[in-house]
Amino acid sequence: MAQLELHLDHDISWFLLPSYWAKIVVGLISFLCFANSYDGDFVFDDSEAIINNKDLRAETPLGDLWHHDFWGSKLSSNTSHKSYRPLTVLTFRLNYLFAGGFHPVGFHVINIILHSIICVLMVDVFSILLGGLQYSSKGRRLNLAPRASPLAALLFAVHPVHTECVAGIVGRADLLCALFFLLSFLGYCKAFRENKEGNHFSVFWVLVSVLLGAIAMLCKEQGITVLGLNAVFDALVISRLDILELVHKVLHKNKSLE
């Protein structure tokens, strides 16, 4: 399967760029693609999550963010939406304080920048998913899909499915969650290195990955799923678990018991 993916990367009619240039191109195109949303206004859920949310005001104690939901209601209240995203609300509060009020330009610009950073990280993510996780003798990760990974990241960057998350200010919850989700995944990949000297395991990077996963969860609830992704990636890619062989053994064992 890996050899097939490498041949596929070789057959792609896409010019080869150095890694840093590929990331610059992806980041720039992703920024330009959604740059026209900078002058948008507060719409739809923005009014409740931002304008009418007292947690953004300076007079509201900062500790209240940890006891309120995404819309500023107490979590213990029966009318609470139970959406617990304190770190996302904290970024809204910082936007409000630095801008000196509800000026949507600053909110939109941060969303566009976050989307660009995510797209740059996707170059590394796709290089792992398409080319595998291998390291040089010096411990540097090898990009075995130098053409396919930037191309896939570009398609991700300009896809219209991201319009709501980037152009809608409340979509920052998805952007922040995705950012720390990807950082958690990349951190987990960094914890395992295989070279001529054998396998190297870093407890530090595993703990960093778990911490980043917790931050993603505090930006949006779905961030917790990165822990499951890391576990599946560990089993299938790092530990090279053969699912078909495992299923065959289980079925054969059941037949023997019968």
Query: Residue 38 — φ and ψ, nearest 5°?
Result: -65, -30
Residues of the chain with pLDDT under 70: 1-15, 137-139, 194-199, 242-243, 246, 252-258
Write the DSSP symbol of residue 222: G
Kindly report, residue by residue over 27-39, the tens digit of the pLDDT. 999 999 999 998 8
- Nearest-angstrom CA–CA distance, 31 and 29: 5
- Nearest-angstrom CA–CA distance, 12 and 145: 10
Beta bridge partners of 199: 194
Beta bridge partners of 193: 200
What are 98's two structure tokens? Answer: 């630095």
Single out the residue of 146, 158, 91, 173 nearest to residue 119, CA to CA.
158
Question: How far from chain centre, in Å, is Cα 34?
Answer: 18
Q: Calculate helix-pair angle for 225-233, 203-219, nearest 10 degrees.
A: 150
Please state, as a whole number, how many other Cβ atoms lie within 10 Å of the Cβ of residue 224: 15
Kindly report, residue by residue over 77-134, the tens digit of the pLDDT. 887 778 899 999 999 999 999 887 888 999 999 999 999 999 999 999 999 988 888 7
pLDDT of residue 114: 97
- 56: left (phi > 0), else alpha (psi -120 to 50), else beta? alpha
pLDDT of residue 142: 78
- Nearest-angstrom CA–CA distance, 152 and 218: 28
pLDDT of residue 148: 87
- Nearest-angstrom CA–CA distance, 179 and 182: 5
pLDDT of residue 130: 87
What are 141's two structure tokens? Answer: 């990760």
What's the sign of the alpha-carbon dihedral 35, 40, 44, 48?
Answer: positive
Single out the residue of 184, 194, 60, 59 nearest to residue 139, CA to CA.
194
pLDDT of residue 1: 44
8 A C-beta contact, residue 77 and residue 71: no
Q: Which helix (H) or strand (E) holds 175?
A: helix 172-190
